[in-house]
Chain A
Amino acid sequence: MIPPEPVAPESIDRLCALAALSIPAERRRALAPMLAGLVAAANELSQKMADPRHRTVVPIVRFPER
């Protein structure tokens, strides 16, 4: 896994403001390291999906019956 880049509490503040989501300051501080880990893992998956082998792959949100 790619080592997580730290997420600054100010970044959480900004995201909350953009989403109109009010989160108390102490909770925002606790979210920062967790978000760093999740985003690092999601970025790693995005990198895998950028492989040219997967260029034609479309997202699945509903499965075909057969």
Chain B
Amino acid sequence: MAPTDVLNLTIREAAAQIERSALSPVELTDAMLQRITHVDKTLNAYITVCGEQAREVALAAEKMIRAGYHLGPLHGIPIAIKDNIYTRGVRTTAGSKILADFVPQEDATVTARLKRAGAVIIGKTNLHEFAWGGTTDNPHYGTCRNPWNPERFPAGSSGGSGAAVAARTCLGALGTDTGGSIRLPSSVNGIVGIRPTIGRVSNHNVVPLAWTMDTVSPMTRTVEDCVLMFEIIAGHDPLDDHSAQAPVADYRGELGRGLRGLRVGLIRDYSLSHVQPAVGQTIRAALTALESLGVEIEEIAMPSIHGNISAQLTIESCEPSTYHQEWLRTRAADYGDDVRTLLELGEMYLATHYLQAQRYRSVLRKEFLDGFKRVDVFVTPTLPFTATPCGATTVVIEDNRQEDMLSAIMQFTGVPSLAGLPALSVPVGFDAAGLPVGMQVIGRPFDEATLFRLGHAYQRATDWHTRAPRL
């Protein structure tokens, strides 16, 4: 098989070939490592490339296949891991100078589960410093760039994972999502990413950002591949105090059920408001495609939705500043300027501001749970705009008005994070400049299966996810 064909394989396709010995894990890993060498000088998606270790694991995976042992769909599959997730023996910087030399003695639970399933960890991906920001403009490890246009940002904080998957340097990646950090880069890099229900996937040995909102999950090119990774990492973990006991669904079994009769909600004066025109048109086209697959669309009012950005900023300021309190007093100069500023500001809120924001989450969640009596999922754009130039701190969404990037980026993804709900980002088209647009689908607590089902049906009916950036 020619290397370019190998690069374009999905996890499901590569796994099928590996299982029947038509593709060697070593050949696949080498192709990915060569691709990293070719494109990562431009993209800067990786902080550490685990070339030698990856080849050793791939060789072991190949020997197991020859001996008749097959561990499942991730056996021999090259996967990248965001660099705030512990990897035993491989440095885990969290994109910071402060943890530049930190080499964990243990894996995160998610890393261990992927390894047990036979995955080949190919490298650690770039991120916004300590995951506190949405651009992956990292002052310590360099600016990560978007494969669809390297002058544009890959969003963040899991920007390296998003760029790495879109650029075909790995078949899937893990990211972390507090207020949108998986879904935002999934949207602007034209890939799939899910934020799980809080408690569904273990956070054990993941560097925290905001404890009450943090999650870990996969980023892939197809929904089907996302399911293959998700079913490995989902489920109770006794090492994580916030881990849920709720049973894990048969996600793969649910994929083929179709969408007839599924009810999709649009939030009045919110779901399609304050978005760039191209984003609005693309989401409307995606909704039309979903209607042709049998979904019914209903508009629902949600009176409290418009407090979301303030609540997110408050919680995402206070909780990280608590975690970083000691380092901010002893190593302040080691932070990048933007993250240092946010951490300093987080020390200056009142306790009542923080608790009112946490009370707001209860109100927002109740409005969603009421809404779920009428619809099965809610849809919004993932982002109100497409990828902005690298380094931009403001963005124009409408009326030529410059808006602060951090607030603008939180417009849609903060809502499920606050309400503790799962949300999937699926690529649904491109703007006139060829930049991807993502659609966010929000589900009931622990109902990731319906999100996967909708996303998979949409991808079977469209071909946006098959397009590749030219690098």
Contact = CB atoms under 8 A, between A and B. Distances in A.
A38 B313 contact: yes
Contact of A38 (B199, B317, B352, B355): B317
Nearest to B211: A61
B: contact size bracket: 35 or more
Contacts of A43: 353
Q: Is the interface of A mostly helix, strand, loop or mixed?
A: helix
A66 B447 CA distance: 11
B309 A54 contact: no
Contact of A21 (B244, B310, B347, B445): B347
A42 B356 contact: yes
Contacts, number: 103
A34 B348 CA distance: 11
B358 A48 contact: no
Interface string B330-354: 0010000000010011011110110
A3 B342 CA distance: 21
Contact of A48 (B212, B307, B420): B307
Interface in B339-381: 341, 344-345, 347-350, 352-353, 355-363, 365
Q: Is the interface of B mostly helix, strand, loop or mixed?
A: helix
A21 B344 contact: yes
Interface residues of A, number: 32
A60 B304 CA distance: 16
Contact of B353 (A21, A34, A39, A66): A39
B212 A46 contact: no
Contact of B356 (A27, A49, A62): A49
Interface of A: 12, 15, 19-23, 27, 30-31, 34-35, 38-39, 41-46, 48-49, 54, 57-63, 65-66
27 contacts: A12-B348, A21-B329, A21-B347, A27-B341, A27-B344, A30-B341, A31-B345, A31-B348, A38-B313, A38-B314, A38-B317, A39-B348, A41-B310, A42-B350, A44-B310, A45-B310, A45-B356, A46-B352, A49-B359, A59-B355, A59-B358, A59-B362, A60-B212, A60-B361, A62-B242, A65-B244, A65-B446
